[in-house]
Amino acid sequence: MGGMIRALIVDDEPLAREGLKLHLAKEKDVSIVGEAGEGRRATAMIASLKPDLVFLDVQMPGLDGFEVVEAVAHTFLPTIVFVTAYDQYAIRAFEVHAIDYLLKPFNGERFTTALRKAREEISARGSQESRTRLLAMIAERAGAAAHVQRFVIKSGEGYRLVPTADVASFEAQGNYVRLKTGTGQHLLRITMTELEKRLDPKRFARIHRSTMVNIDRIKEITPAWHGDFEVLLTDGQRLRLSRNFRDRLLP
C-alpha cells in the first residue's frame, strides 16, 4: 500500500481510547492524528483532518457513531471500524451489511484482524464497495428508526443538534430543505419527500408540495382563495395550505 495510515480514535471512555492507542502503538504503518470523546467533536475532526481510518464508538452521548457517519457521509467518509459494547441491533446491522466491528472487550488477535481488513479497504478505496455498504446500512437504519428526533446541522467548523420539536416549518429548496425554528433557520441536505418519510405524521403535516409544518405550532387556519387556506403559526409565519393537501389537516 505504501504511506502511513492516519488514524482517528473516537470513544467517550478514556480507558477505551488508551486501549486502542496501545494496540496501534505496535503498528509501524499507523499514526494517530487525533482523538475525540464525543460525536460532535469527532465530526469536526474528520472534516478537518481527513483521516484514512477512524475507530468509532457506537454508543456515545450527543451524536452516536451512526449519526457521526451520517453527518460526514456527503463530505468525507474515511474507512470506519466500529467499536461497540454488546448491542444486538448494531451487531446485526454490521453483520447483514458485512461491515467490520470490534466488540468490547476485544483481544489483540481480534484487533489485528480488524486492522488487516481496514488496510485492505484503504488499499482498495477506488472500489467504493465498502462505502456503498456503509451508506446502505445508515440509510436502512434511518428508515427503520421510529421517527427522527433531531437534526444534525453543520455550524461553522462544528455541528449542532436541533430537536424536531423545535422546528416550526420546513420549506423545500431544490435538494435541500430550509428548517425554521424560533431562533433561526438552517439548511438540511435532504429532499422534502425523504424528510416526510422520516417525520412523525402525527406531529408534522405536509401542507404544500414544498412546505411542511409542526402541527403543534399552528395557531389558526383560515380560508384563502380557490379552495386554499392560510395557516398562521405561533411565530407569525403565514403559509399556504394547498387544497391538494387539505385532508392532512382538515376534516
CB neighbours of residue 128 within 10 Å: 10
For the ranges 124-128, 140-144, 192-196, the one whose mean pLDDT is highest: 192-196
Q: What is the pLDDT of residues 21-64, one digit of tens each?
A: 999 999 999 999 999 999 999 999 999 999 999 999 998 888 88
CA angle 14, 20, 25 (to 5 degrees): 125
Average pLDDT over residues 166-171: 96
CATH number for the region 5-144 comes to: 3.40.50.2300
Q: What is the pLDDT of residues 175-185, one digit of tens each?
A: 889 999 988 89
Q: What is the pLDDT of residues 2-31, one digit of tens each?
A: 579 999 999 999 999 999 999 999 999 999
pLDDT band at 139 (very low <50, low <70, confident <90, very high): confident
Give the three cell numbers for residue 57. 464508538
Q: Is the dihedral of CA 239, 244, 247, 251 positive or negative?
A: positive
What b/e readout covers 38-50, taking b as 16+ CB neighbours within 10 angstroms?
A: bbbbbbbbbbeee
Task: Give the per-residue pLDDT at 1.
Answer: 46
Range list for CATH 2.40.50.1020 in the chain: 150-248
pTM, to two decimals: 0.60
Task: Give the per-residue pLDDT at 145.
Answer: 59
Q: Does domain 150-248 have CATH number 2.40.50.1020?
A: yes
Residue 170, burial from CB neighbour count under 10 angstroms (0-12, 13-18, 19+): buried
Distance CA 18, CA 114 (A): 17
Q: What is the pLDDT of residues 79-111, one digit of tens each?
A: 999 998 877 767 888 888 888 899 988 999 999
**pLDDT mean across residues, the chain:** 88
Which ranges of 62-153 does DSSP label H, i.e. alpha helix? 65-72, 88-96, 108-123, 129-144
Lowest mean per-residue pLDDT among 69-78, 113-122, 132-141, 176-185? 132-141
Distance CA 229, CA 243 (A): 7
CB neighbours of residue 152 within 10 Å: 21
SS3 54: strand
